[in-house]
Structure 1
Amino acid sequence: MTESERMLGLAEPLHQKVSQKFMTAFRAKDILFSETSLAYLQARGGASFQLRYCPALKKKPQGHVSSAKRDPSGPKFDPFEDPPVELLVAQIPAQNASHTLVLNKYPVIHNHFIIATKANKPQTDLLEEDDIGLTHACLRAWEDQRHDGSSPRLFAFFNSGEHSGASQVHRHLQFLPVEDMAGSKIQEWRLLIDRMNVPAHPELPLFQDPSLPILHFSTPLEPGISAADLHRKYIMLMKAALSATLSPGGPLDQSLVVEKDGKTLISYNLAMTTDRMAICPRSQEAAFIPGAGPESSVAINGTILAGTLMVKDETEWDILRETHSLLDEMLASIGFSLISWKQHGSAIKI
């Protein structure tokens, strides 16, 4: 048993547990999987983005099917409070569990699963050390114990705040297997977070991809990194994002307080792989597509840091495939201007 599996307390490999649970739920129709059409868009700077078209999600129920029978003035249905056994993958750690692993009920990518706090903690609060530590343990466990020579990867993302694309208020992070995202055309697409390797600060381990027209930062994660150090890196990214949004012309202010009464002061998306963590502060949830009609609105969440977007309307799908330049405009509209602190710690707008 690997160190990450010991930390999680799993009796079998994580990838095996998730894939078996997914297939069982898929066959029993306990999850509602939606097929997508896939195209590739090229940003001006060279980054390749996946564009997924999923018209079925226009019909996705809002909340749980039983919510219509509930008192409208009562509490909103919480899918993570007591997840059905058909979707429950595991409770972790096995001893004194603080989190649950559960399948996404409405996936568009195979083996999409979620880590949620057992206690109903707010999605808008600062992530805690065990949230980060257990998420990273899942990322490591996914790559462990493969005897077929493959090198599978898992991508984790977190949406926090009103402009982030978050759909549930109960704290949770989500996992997508990279190979399931890429499908058969893995050579045409690379995780966006992997491109964020250009230094953005003269002293701190902050990096960017200068070709992306939206504020973001990443930081490397060393092998064997502890949960405490992971959390410190997370706070560093939060301070960089907040400093760049509040004072885009000034130096990075490491004394900034990033939360008030537990709640973070910005909307943001966070992403993580085994070797990198990234953040993208958000100014609005959805992007408007010119020519797609007055109701056009494409909601964008943390999968932006993987390099993937999804539309539900055929007109939006057609326009974006025909006019790749709109991609840069969409990205710029949902966040903040890209800056770095390369020269003497002073901010430079890129």
Structure 2
Amino acid sequence: MVEDMLGIRAPPNLPGLVKAAFEKARVAGDLTYYPTQVAILRPGNSGIAFQLRFSPALASKPKPPPPSGGDKGEKKKPFNPFENPLPSMTIAPLPPNHVLVLNKFAIVPEHFILATRTVKPQTHVLESDDIAAAYACIRAYHEDEDKAQDLFAFFNSGPHSGASQPHRHIQLLPVAQMRAGLESAKNGADWEVMADALSSRSDADVPFAVLTDRIASGATAEQLHAAYVRLYKDAVRLLHPEENENVAGEGEARISYNLAMTRTTMALCPRIVEGATIRSKSGEEVVGPVALNGTVLAGTALVKNEAEWDALREDPDKLLGVLSKIGVSSSTKGVATGSNL
């Protein structure tokens, strides 16, 4: 089990548990996996190989159940997939305050979720045990006895971040599964997790501000949380310079943002919009909005219709246009911390 300085133990053989649970729930019909087509784009001069994935089946994704309960005149409770998950969707408890569950609608195989056992708001600043639990899962994947693996964790917070569930949760994607299909895609071997590239390569650049810290081996829960709060406060100041030092590191978040963590990197980007519309190659027709969540920090984007898929592949700079709108300009002074935990 992975505990060390984190104070939280991830289950033994976590990759095997996730894989077995995913396959069982998929066969039982309790989750849906949406296969995708994939292309690699290089928008502008970013130095980043960006995954573009297309899943036409997502256009017909079922809607969540309607709100339930509540007497006449009382507000009904929205459906919460994390409060009482099906046994088949539950991977394991992660004491003391979290549970690991499967994502019901998966684009990436073995996509799973770290959720709080009690309902806590997605819009609040993360607590120390949230960060420690997520990193314990990352460490467990890397230290797996059968095969060391990388895990990408991301958190969406606020209306412009791509967040869709109010119950606090961090999402986790096995990087090996994120590479599915890349072996047959042109330049597929060039793709790497963008958060890692931004924190380690001088030629990696994107048009929106991303604040990063490198995570040292053996980082404690307190160090990890302090780094996250520091990045969050710096991001708030980018959007609200007038606040200077008066940024609270707890409670309701002041901004929308995405957080990403890998074994070696923590990255955070403040968000001002969820996405942007794109036009056809001729520029005459709007073919759809492209919305981005925390997977943007992995260097991935998802589209749901063929017109968007074609337009972005024909002109990768359209993706650059979307990226330039989602956050603060990367030319903003002081956007990268680049420190080590």
| TM-score interval (norm. to shorter) | 0.7 to 0.9
1:74 pairs with 76, 82, 102, which one? 76
Q: Which amino acid aligns with 1:54?
A: S
2:318 pairs with 311, 316, 326, which one? 326
Q: CA-to-partner distance for each residue in 1:176-213, whole Å, 9 max, x for gaps?
A: 01010012436231110111137xxxxxxxx9876210
Map of 1:193 onto structure 2: 195
For 2:11 and 2:170, how far apart are their aligned partners in 1? 22
2:236 pairs with 234, 239, 242, which one? 242
Map of 1:203 onto structure 2: none
Whether the aligned pair in 1 keeps the contact of 2:129 and 2:221 (CA below 8 Å) is yes
Gaps of 5+ in 2: none
Whether the aligned pair in 2 keeps the contact of 1:196 and 1:217 (CA below 8 Å) is no
Distance change (3 Å), C-alpha of 1:294 and 1:259 = farther
2:168 pairs with 163, 171, 178, which one? 171
Whether the aligned pair in 2 keeps the contact of 1:128 and 1:231 (CA below 8 Å) is yes
Distance change (3 Å), C-alpha of 1:268 and 1:258 = farther
Whether the aligned pair in 2 keeps the contact of 1:5 and 1:141 (CA below 8 Å) is no
Q: CA deviation at 1:10?
A: 5.2
Map of 1:60 onto structure 2: 61
For 1:4 and 1:18, how far apart are their aligned partners in 2? 22
Distance change (3 Å), C-alpha of 1:164 and 1:2 = closer
Q: Which amino acid aligns with 1:175?
A: L
Identical aligned pairs, as a percentage?
A: 39
- The alignment's TM-score, normalised by the length of structure 1, stands at 0.86
Map of 2:154 onto structure 1: 157
Whether the aligned pair in 1 keeps the contact of 2:31 and 2:106 (CA below 8 Å) is yes
For 2:237 and 2:203, how far apart are their aligned partners in 1? 18
Map of 1:264 onto structure 2: 253
Instruction: Give matches, 1:72-111, under 5 Å.
Output: 73-93=75-95, 97-111=96-110
Map of 1:146 onto structure 2: 145
Distance change (3 Å), C-alpha of 1:31 and 1:8 = farther
Q: CA deviation at 1:144?
A: 1.1
Three-state SS of the structure 1 residue aligned to 2:278 is coil
Please tell me the root mean square deviation across aligned C-alpha atoms, in Å: 2.6
Map of 1:211 onto structure 2: 205
Q: CA-to-partner distance for each residue in 1:318-342, whole Å, 9 max, x for gaps?
A: 0000001112111011111114656
For 1:145 and 1:77, how far apart are their aligned partners in 2? 35
Q: CA deviation at 1:309?
A: 0.1
Instruction: Give matches, 1:254-333, under 5 Å.
Output: 255-258=245-248, 262-291=251-280, 293-294=285-286, 296-333=288-325
Q: CA-to-partner distance for each residue in 1:151-200, whole Å, 9 max, x for gaps?
A: 410000000001000000000000001010012436231110111137xx
- The alignment's TM-score, normalised by the length of structure 2, stands at 0.88
Three-state SS of the structure 2 residue aligned to 1:297 is strand
Whether the aligned pair in 1 keeps the contact of 2:213 and 2:227 (CA below 8 Å) is yes
Whether the aligned pair in 1 keeps the contact of 2:47 and 2:203 (CA below 8 Å) is no
Whether the aligned pair in 1 keeps the contact of 2:121 and 2:168 (CA below 8 Å) is yes
Q: Which amino acid aligns with 1:332?
A: S
Whether the aligned pair in 2 keeps the contact of 1:208 and 1:217 (CA below 8 Å) is no
Gaps of 5+ in 1: 199-206, 346-350
For 2:48 and 2:20, how far apart are their aligned partners in 1? 34
For 2:5 and 2:16, how far apart are their aligned partners in 1? 12
Distance change (3 Å), C-alpha of 1:268 and 1:102 = same
Whether the aligned pair in 1 keeps the contact of 2:3 and 2:9 (CA below 8 Å) is no
Map of 2:22 onto structure 1: 22
Q: Which amino acid aligns with 2:269?
A: C
Whether the aligned pair in 1 keeps the contact of 2:13 and 2:144 (CA below 8 Å) is yes
Q: Which amino acid aligns with 2:208?
A: I
How many pairs does the alignment contain? Answer: 324
- Tell which deviates more after alignment, 126-135 or 178-187: 178-187
Q: Which amino acid aligns with 1:317?
A: W
